[in-house]
Structure 1
Amino acid sequence: MNAVVGRDDLLLLTLDTLRYDVARESAAAGLLPHLTARLPGGVWEKRHAPGNFTYASHHAMFAGFLPTPAAPGPHPRLFAARFAGSESTAERTFVFDEPDLVTALAARGYHTACIGGVGFFNKRGALGNVLPGLFAESHWEPEFSVASPTSFEAQVACAERVVAALDADRPLFLFVNASALHQPNWFHLPGATREAGDTRTTHAAALAYIDRHVGRLFDVMRSRRRCFAVVCSDHGTAYGDDGYTGHRLGHESVWTVPYGHFFLEPPA
């Protein structure tokens, strides 16, 4: 990562609330052609989330604690704030002295931009400004929210505007928090109703919706130079699993998340 930082653009796309089992099943069923075309081997990596809800998990990720491989470690990290005794900081880790990755990249010449989704990014109060406030540029609109059936395509259009407005020589770190998978998501499944509510099936339909538009995001992020992309969930969510519903709780459906990182090569 010490060679990547300063040379390539960077994308962190969090698919908010995406369950690992739904992501794995959807990929295996061929329902995610654009994502699986980019994922190494066409499969999601099974990892453990650094938090069990959006605010906690993103604070950790911005400090370099991306989801951890679901196997005994330690596992070297891509990014890490300098911390004495860290067992997951290795020679190839990009280590920074700043308190978070966003600030560290800005200090190295990156333009940092946030396109929010769920309420922790809505900038409507003090709490909703904490995470977007790390970035030089941040965007949130009602069209990006969990209540919008067209949230992700609106976020992608915003990303296209961000890239178009940026000096071609300025490296970019773009963060996108995709809200479509978060409850409510019933409206992504044709024929579903508000009364029937959200299920693993509507969750999967929301993921397929994201896949239909993610190619545009990948294309704009590779339009200027090579881009290193991390695509992952920040936490999962329960749909009645063992009696649990939702997240901010310690169930396997919440802690286990899909992850992938890869390069997006510029057009020939």
Structure 2
Amino acid sequence: MPGVNPDMNAVIGHDDLLLVTLDTLRYDVAAELLAAGRLPNLARHLPGGEWEKRHAPGNFTFASHQAMFAGFLPTPAEPGPHPRLFAARFEGSETTAPRTWVYDTPDLVTGLAAEGYRTVCLGGVGFFDKRGPMGSVLPGYFQESHWSPEFSVAAPASFEAQVAKVEEIVAALPRERRLFLFVNVSALHQPNWFHLPGATRADGDSRATHAAALEYVDRHIGRLFAAASARRRCWAIVCSDHGTAYGDDGYTGHRLGHESVWTVPYAQFFLGGPA
């Protein structure tokens, strides 16, 4: 596994944890913007200054997050097996290694709660909106969950609102309590046309507006990283849950088996705590 690859048994119980899913972000767009110098805030944290190319565990938000919350993060896009960071204890697992943190609960989130972590979810897309049974499943894994219309796909300042809420949550948490913070970033998801200067609703969404949305997220992600590491060192994972197609080979959207959907960017790294 390229980049930072710690023994997770030494991380869990010591560091705070941050998982950020940049919902629907395509690998090719993320890589192009990084190479062009258009993601300066993310670039300073990505190991080697690059995104890792991985395969998503699902082709739409609900399926992919169910897998990730069970310990199945996006898989490196090369032949494996690939040892996992986290895994439920079960006989015969070929991806559980000595450096894997193994838990005895049905999912990672409740496993971390059992270890003493405060588990907090900041929702973005509709699968986290808690407005009905379906939108309550994923937030239901967490001890504390938050969603509001200002975090949603329709809000042009959604990520700024999410970051402000994170700052509020972190400030209120007792310093001695470890934190597992999950943030589902909705800004990349359609509609995203409003992130491209001069675009109109009639222009619709495109690969270019998707890219502009990622630049918007990059402008504010430094505040998220600062909040997550304000109390102590933080182990961070930033990735996409799946990509999305913009007319590629005739396909549009996701929940389909196209390369633009299955291939996602991934990074894992430490955020240093306060001096």
Partner in structure 2 of residue 229 of structure 1: 236
Matched letter for residue 265 of structure 2: P
AA aligned to 2:188 is L
Instruction: Note the 1:1-268 alignment, pairs <5 A.
Output: 1-268=8-275
Give deviations 1:65-102, integer Å, cap 9, x for gaps. 00000000000000011122111110000011101111
Name stretches of at least 5 consecutive residues in structure 2 with no aligned partner.
1-7
Which residue identity does 2:138 align to in structure 1? L
Q: Distance in 2 between matches of 1:99 and 1:196?
A: 45
TM-score normalised by L of structure 1 = 0.99
Superimposed CA distance per residue, residues 100-138 of structure 1 (whole angstroms, 9 cap, x where no aligned partner): 111000001000000000000000000100010111110
How far residue 196 of structure 1 moved from its aligned partner, in angstroms, is 1.0
**What is the CA-CA distance between 1:267 and the residue it aligns to?**
2.8
Write the distance in 2 (CA, Å) between the matches of 1:99 and 1:254. Answer: 27
Aligned length: 268
Asked if structure 1 preserves the Cα contact closer than 8 Å seen for 2:58 and 2:67, the reply is yes
Separation in 2, partners of 1:39, 1:261: 7
In 2: Cα distance, 1:147 partner to 1:225 partner: 34
Q: Which amino acid aligns with 1:160?
A: E
The corresponding residue for 2:4 is none
Which whole-Å CA distance do the structure 2 matches of 1:261 and 1:127 have between them? 29
Given that residues 233 and 274 in structure 2 are in contact (C-alpha distance below 8 angstroms), is that contact kept between their aligned partners in structure 1?
no
Is there any run of 5+ residues in structure 1 with no aligned partner, and where?
none
Answer whether contact 2:119 2:142 (CA < 8 A) is retained: yes
Partner of 2:5: none
| 1:3 maps to amino acid | A
How far apart, in 2, do the equivalents of 1:185 and 1:159 lie? 23
Specify the code of the residue in structure 1 equivalent to 2:229: R
- How big is each residue's C-alpha offset from its partner over 1:6-61, in whole Å with a ceiling of 9 and x where there is no partner? 00000000000000000000000101001010000111000000000000000000
In structure 2, give the amino acid aligned to 1:95. Answer: V
Give the RMSD, CA atoms, in angstroms: 0.5
The secondary structure found in structure 2 opposite 1:2 is helix
Q: Quote the Cα distance in structure 1 between the aligned partners of 2:54 and 2:157.
A: 28
What SS is found at the alignment partner of 1:218? helix
Distance 2:37 2:66 in 1: 33
Q: Structure 1: how far apart are the matches of 2:204 and 2:95?
A: 41
Other structure's SS at 1:157 match: helix
Letter in 2 for 1:17: T
Task: Indicate conservation of the 8 Å contact 2:245/2:251, yes or no.
Answer: yes
Code of the aligned partner of 2:34:
A
Rounded to whole Å, the distance in 2 between the matches of 1:158 and 1:112 is 15
Q: TM-score, normalised by structure 2?
A: 0.97
> What's the secondary structure of 1:50's corresponding residue?
coil
2: CA distance between counterparts of 1:54 and 1:83?
A: 26
Moved over 4 A (4+): none
How far off is 1:152 after superposition? 0.3
Identical counterparts, % of pairs? 77
Cα shift readout 1:124-162 (whole Å, capped 9, x = no counterpart): 000100010111110000000000000000000010011
Give the letter aligned to residue 234 of structure 1: D
- What is the distance in 1 between the residues matched to 2:213 and 2:17? 25
